[in-house]
A = this chain, B = another copy of it.
Amino acid sequence: MIKVEQAIEIIEANSKKMPTKLISVRKALGYVLAEKIISPINMPPFRQSVMDGYAFTHSIRHQYDIVGISQAGDYSNIKLKSTEAIRIFTGAFVPDDADTVVMQEDVMANKDSILIAAMPEKLSNVRPKGEQIAKDDIVFEANTLLTPAAIGFLASLGITEVEVYKKPKVAILVTGNELIQPGKKLKKGKIFESNSIMLEAALQTIGIQKAKVYRVKDNLKATKKALKGILKKYDIVLISGGISVGDYDFVKEALLQNEVKELFYKINQKPGKPMFFGSKNDTLIFALPGNPASSLTNFYIYVLPAIKNRIGFSEIHKTKVVRKLNSEIKNDTGKTLFLKAKYDETNVTVLNGQSSAMLNTFAVANSLLIVPENIKEYKKGQLVTLLPI
């Protein structure tokens, strides 16, 4: 049995980066860059007007003749005398001879000329070429997550494809003779199988749309055979159930017989203690507890960061949140507790129904409150640490 922190370290140390691929920027949301991106252009590519107004060369003059017009999208590099100005619009090209734009609200204009009522400072309202980024400058370092803003920025530089880390192929292997598929009739002694659909949904939150679900009966031969095929084809294997010490828990034995390297088994935590983590080649194997709430807890604490690590995230753990505790917590287990909790802007409430079987509590929780194994008690009003989920 190892500590939570050790389990996190071991998983991190064994999570290799996925191979990379070229992807259309348009489809790249949620992927992570595998390359440094260099700007192919200056942005803006030319001196741009920031306002609707008039472009001219700054001087002591207040009156200028209007000799042309520059709309957004135009390129008319008109020659301007020191007595001349052009009508200009937001985003439009500023002629080389002009250095300043006066906003239209600050002039009196007729068809042919303007009188500037409030003279702007020299260079006002002109966005310099390359202000946002210069050609050949670094746009993004490798391992940048592609958010809507990052995707927009790449597009604004004319970049249409980038090299990213592939998403891992994930298999979910469900064990348990007691399980019946939802939609079928529930027989006596059986329960509905819900872990695969829950884990599929959890994987979707990190952009893995098509996890493949396998099911196997609780016996060593079937489990071993199923795993043999799965271990060859997938980058991450999640196994649901069959990993505690009951006489009918064959998963660990089936993994070892398939030459999976055991990296740890059992973590000093509640819920979620009976978990096995191993690897074979670059494939990571997480044998998660069968109880739904334990399974989902360990998905958030261990599996999600491992996936983020493999797909190139530079920050694989969510930023923790500190809140004031609404009640007191006792911990006489000597284990690290992960309690389903709900926090608002100032406080956190530990929810009723912390049993490892209870998913309903999880469904209304927005965080896991972490009580370290060496903490015997948190008092009401104390600041505690949460992992948002």
Contacts and interface: CB of A to CB of B under 8 A. Distances in A.
Given A132-B358, A158-B182, A344-B319, A246 B148 contact: no
Nearest to A245: B52
B292 A360 contact: no
A160 interface: yes
Given A90-B246, A148-B296, 9 more contacts: A29-B205, A45-B191, A73-B179, A73-B218, A148-B198, A155-B192, A158-B184, A159-B182, A322-B345
Contact of A90 (B89, B184, B244): B244
B45 A201 contact: no
Contacts of A93: 188-189
A194 B153 contact: yes
Interface in A164-178: 176-178
Each complex incorporates copies of this chain amounting to 2
A346 to B, nearest CB: 8
Interface of A: 25-26, 29, 41, 43-46, 52, 71-75, 89-93, 127, 131-133, 139-140, 144, 147-160, 176-179, 182-184, 186-195, 197-202, 204-205, 218, 244-248, 290, 292-293, 296, 299, 319-322, 343-345, 353, 355, 357-360, 362-363, 365
B186 A45 contact: yes
Given A296-B149, A345-B322, A46 B188 contact: yes
Nearest to A295: B152
Contacts of A344: 319
B152 A194 contact: yes
Contacts of A363: 140, 144, 147, 149-150, 153
A186 B73 CA distance: 11
Given A52-B247, A73-B177, A91-B290, A160 B186 contact: no
